[in-house]
Structure 1
Amino acid sequence: MEYVKNHIWQILIALNYVLALSAVATILFKRLNPTKTLSYIIVLLVFPFIGLLVYYLFGQEYRKSKIFSRKNVLNQSVVKKVQEELELGTKEIEEVDLLLDEKSKLIPLLYNSEKSKMTINNKVELIKDGDAKFKLLFEDIKKAEHHIHLEYFIIKDDIIGTELLNELCKKSKEGINVRIVIDDVGSNISSKMKAKIKQSGVEMHAFMPVLFSGSTGKMNYRDHRKIIVIDGKIGYVGGINVSDNYVNSNNKRYWRDTHLRIEGEAVKPLQILFFTTWDFASGEELKISKDYFPNHNIKENVPLQIAASGPDTDWSNIMEAIFVAITNAVDSIYITTPYFIPNDEIITALQVAARSNLDVKVIVPKKSDSWVAEYATNSYLEQLLEAGVEVYQYNKGFIHAKTMVVDGVFGTVGTANMDYRSFNINFEVNALVYEKDFCEELKNLFNDDLKDSEKIDYQSWKNRSKTTKFIEAIARLAAPLL
């Protein structure tokens, strides 16, 4: 005991490195992205104790894990029937090809993919800020007759959040089934509001609570989705959370974001996706009835897929969809993202596209809401600029939109950023739209944002200070851990 007491620090250091080397071996066997692997190894070996804590909190891999099983929902007879009804026949596939004209093969459409069924009869409304979104949303909530489902990364009981939660409590007291899933890391709701929610009959569950020791190691895997389904007929998806930050009338800093309001067949995959999250977060065996998948009378032809990705999917579906869209482009690629911390595949695809004389433009914020993310993003821009990609920094406020439009016939709006976390770690959802009028509107919105952006000059950017480049390099190294 005397020896232990006199050499406690050396013993702890030795124990740290035994555990660290064990973790390094585990990381190497996982065959992760080399950059991510190197980042974790450096943290583990250079920062005693802190490195182990970082790895425990953020480094564990749960993709394909049984804890995220979707079978409880997908195996239910009602859901199986809905999935079957969403499968397109040969005639409908030909109709999609006709809608896309000569560029119908731009994106390999995964008609029969379990994760993202192609739907045809949809009405889609593009929303460009939180003020417009919440105005539409409150109108739809007031008209709800059967159920309201919400799944959000951020819900705060500030001005807009309190207004929304109060309205949901009111609808619950009217007999409407209201279910809410909140991410336990992103959301912040007071005990008083939680009590009111419970008393009103609203069912609310936190996604992977982090207050318990058994779940602490999973705080890295967050539900970053923003989904609303009302009566199985109306769906919302996009980048706008429930917080005053997203509402310009309540926010000092201008916030530009993009969201979609959907009516039609595509609401059904959104509903199924919500139920898979609800099943996991609630731990309850919910019997799903036909009432959650009503018929609709939408006649518009807007081909649309709901693509989801996360630790419950075998592949990085959204990243792969973006990659395929970029590599199949023949004319233009316009991307807006608040955080540009991509993998090598996306960087290479954009470089090749630009060097092939395609019109490739990317908008990122000039001033981010995270200094680490800002410097990490900036560290990647020189690679784009030297390949001929036009990069713009949005300077009107903060741009949080996650959009892409390719060749004027394919567009995506959703929750996924162009970063490691969205591609590989978080639960995300994007709408993939294959319709020219919608893509033209999305392109016009991109061009409007260009007017509030400053184009980066390659030579000036290349000559930024060594101090700035050093900070960017450190932030970039930390990027896989963000």
Structure 2
Amino acid sequence: MQAAVYPWREGNQYRLMIDGECFFPRLLEAIEQARESIEIELYLIDSGLSTRQWIDALLAARERGVRVYCLLDGVGTDGFKTAERRELEQAGAVLRFYNPPSVLSGSRLFHRDHRKLFLIDRRIAFVGGTGITDEFCQPDPQTGTATWHEQLLEIEGPVVEDWVSLFEYEWQRVDERARPGLAAVRRGQVPPLPKAKSGQGRVAYIGAREQKEVVASLLAAVKRAEQRVWLATPYFLPSRRIRWALARAARRGVDVRLLLCGMTIDHPPVRYAGQRYYTRLLKAGIRIYEYQPRFTHLKTALVDDWVSLGSCNFDHWTLHWNLEANQQALDSDLAEAVAQSFENDFEQSDLWTLAEWKELPRSHRFKIRFWGQINRWVMWLFGIPR
């Protein structure tokens, strides 16, 4: 079965929610309001208070006769307690696990389902980068905000049908045991932009063997950019094509900004490895912001008024191995909300200048060289395009 390239759909409504203290109560509310079905595709679950609240909401849904289907990653849910899994299954929820590890996994172990999708009655979709963990979903008692900075997008309208289609496609093939190697990047055909600027949306995704059109969509958007290219990603290890596209846009006068992690990050070596690209990007005129208050897990692009938001990190590891999915949108209200979110985060970030970057201490430069070289070896070992 060939994976689809989804078209633009009109007549959609969006609601952007920022941080778990905002979006997690709304997600639980939507589950509580479900009457027919709940379908979830998720990478990360770690048992705790948030998981307990989520399970209780799903159990209550099952008591109402709501069908519950969960497609969960076999590695990302390692922290999901067996007793809690059984609790859901005994209540009639159907759980499937994507590519669970085994002694015969080999390099296929790295092939993960990194998508984050919640479908309620096949009428409402929630898309973003969150997992069901306390770091994402519970406010810190001292700050009142979640430990990890994240966004979740609520969607209603015709485009939800395509999210349902994508979920069904992966659900039906999750039990395939043979995944011999991974195909090279396929440059998917990106549908042309619609003329209307509100209510438009399409599903873009990465299927490591079938489809890479999220990348093609981003590159096409950057190429046509006239005013701004703002990109937020927690793990900045972009391919050469993405780096070149960003640099070319900056040189022709487009406002190109990167919102990246500061010192607070769950994988510090990734930050140092990605910083080896800073010098050339700064010389091209790109503004690089490192977010300071906490770990930012945002995966958002704003190119003029084109928005892409979801699970995709735009790093070369993600693009090579993972299943990802983003909502792309042309909607003036959503673009304004995303822009305001970026502006708020820029104000809480440190902006690097080329002069300051050249004054880095030797210890920091050593870490960049060391982890940059490790990253090059990993890419070479697994045949990941640069």
TM bucket by the smaller chain? 0.7 to 0.9
Cα distance per residue 1:17-44 (max 9 Å; x no partner): xxxxxxxxxxxxxxxxxxxxxxxxxxxx
Give the equivalent residue in structure 2 for 1:203. 94
Give the equivalent residue in structure 2 for 1:43. none
Q: Describe how 1:16-165 pairs up with structure 2 within 5 A.
A: 70=1, 114-165=4-55
* Aligned sequence identity (%): 25
Give 1:369 deviation, angstroms: 1.2
Give the equivalent residue in structure 1 for 2:155. 262
Which one of the candidate residues 238, 257, 264 is aligned to 1:361? 257
Cα distance per residue 1:401-420 (max 9 Å; x no partner): 1111112x211111111201
Give 1:330 deviation, angstroms: 1.2
TM-score under structure 1 length normalisation: 0.70
Three-state SS of the structure 2 residue aligned to 1:334 is strand
Alpha carbons of structure 1 residues 250 and 271: separation in structure 2 relative to 1, 3 Å? farther
TM-score under structure 2 length normalisation: 0.87
| 1:154 and 1:241 in contact (8 A); partners too | yes
| 2:127 and 2:154 in contact (8 A); partners too | yes
| 1:245 and 1:251 in contact (8 A); partners too | no
Give 1:254 deviation, angstroms: 3.2
Three-state SS of the structure 1 residue aligned to 2:298 is coil
Three-state SS of the structure 2 residue aligned to 1:363 is strand
Computed over aligned residues only, the root mean square deviation of the Cα atoms, in angstroms, reads 2.0
Partners of 1:455 and 1:122 lie apart in 2 by: 36
Three-state SS of the structure 2 residue aligned to 1:360 is strand
Partners of 1:206 and 1:262 lie apart in 2 by: 25
| 1:340 and 1:380 in contact (8 A); partners too | no
Q: Which letter does structure 1 place at the counterpart of 2:317?
A: R
Give 1:435 deviation, angstroms: 1.8
Cα distance per residue 1:416-464 (max 9 Å; x no partner): 1120122222100011111222112111110011111111121111221
| Unmatched tracts of structure 2, length 5 or more | 178-196, 380-386
Which one of the candidate residues 467, 474, 477 is aligned to 2:363? 467
Alpha carbons of structure 1 residues 133 and 347: separation in structure 2 relative to 1, 3 Å? same
| 1:316 and 1:424 in contact (8 A); partners too | no
Partners of 1:115 and 1:250 lie apart in 2 by: 40
Q: Which letter does structure 2 place at the counterpart of 1:146?
A: E
Partners of 1:333 and 1:344 lie apart in 2 by: 17
Across the two proteins, how many residue pairs are aligned to each other? 354
Q: Which letter does structure 2 place at the counterpart of 1:131?
A: E
Give 1:468 deviation, angstroms: 2.2
Alpha carbons of structure 1 residues 475 and 310: separation in structure 2 relative to 1, 3 Å? farther
Give the equivalent residue in structure 1 for 2:61. 171
Cα distance per residue 1:282-304 (max 9 Å; x no partner): 569xxxxxxxxxxxxxxx95100
Q: Which letter does structure 1 place at the counterpart of 2:126?
A: Y
| 1:394 and 1:450 in contact (8 A); partners too | yes
Give 1:250 deviation, angstroms: 5.0
Give the equivalent residue in structure 2 for 1:191. 82
Three-state SS of the structure 1 residue aligned to 2:355 is helix
Q: Describe how 1:284-295 pairs up with structure 2 within 5 A.
A: none
Which one of the candidate residues 345, 351, 374 is aligned to 2:271? 374
Q: 2:229 matched to 1:333?
A: yes
Alpha carbons of structure 1 residues 251 and 165: separation in structure 2 relative to 1, 3 Å? farther
Give 1:277 deviation, angstroms: 1.7
Q: Which letter does structure 2 place at the counterpart of 1:304?
A: G
Partners of 2:172 and 2:105 lie apart in 1 by: 17
Three-state SS of the structure 2 residue aligned to 1:249 is coil
Give 1:251 deviation, angstroms: 7.7
Give 1:136 deviation, angstroms: 1.0
| 2:111 and 2:321 in contact (8 A); partners too | yes
Give the equivalent residue in structure 1 for 2:286. 389
Q: 2:111 matched to 1:221?
A: yes
Give the equivalent residue in structure 2 for 1:237. 127
| 2:50 and 2:133 in contact (8 A); partners too | yes
Cα distance per residue 1:307-354 (max 9 Å; x no partner): 0112242x4211111111111111111111111100111111111111
Partners of 1:132 and 1:266 lie apart in 2 by: 24
Partners of 1:423 and 1:301 lie apart in 2 by: 29
Q: Which letter does structure 2 place at the counterpart of 1:119?
A: R
Alpha carbons of structure 1 residues 411 and 301: separation in structure 2 relative to 1, 3 Å? closer
Partners of 1:301 and 1:318 lie apart in 2 by: 21
Give 1:382 deviation, angstroms: 1.8
Three-state SS of the structure 1 residue aligned to 2:105 is helix
Q: Which letter does structure 1 place at the counterpart of 2:84?
A: M
Cα distance per residue 1:354-393 (max 9 Å; x no partner): 1112111111011221111111122222221111111111
Q: Which letter does structure 1 place at the counterpart of 2:109?
A: M
| 2:208 and 2:319 in contact (8 A); partners too | no
Partners of 2:338 and 2:359 lie apart in 1 by: 34
Three-state SS of the structure 2 residue aligned to 1:242 is coil
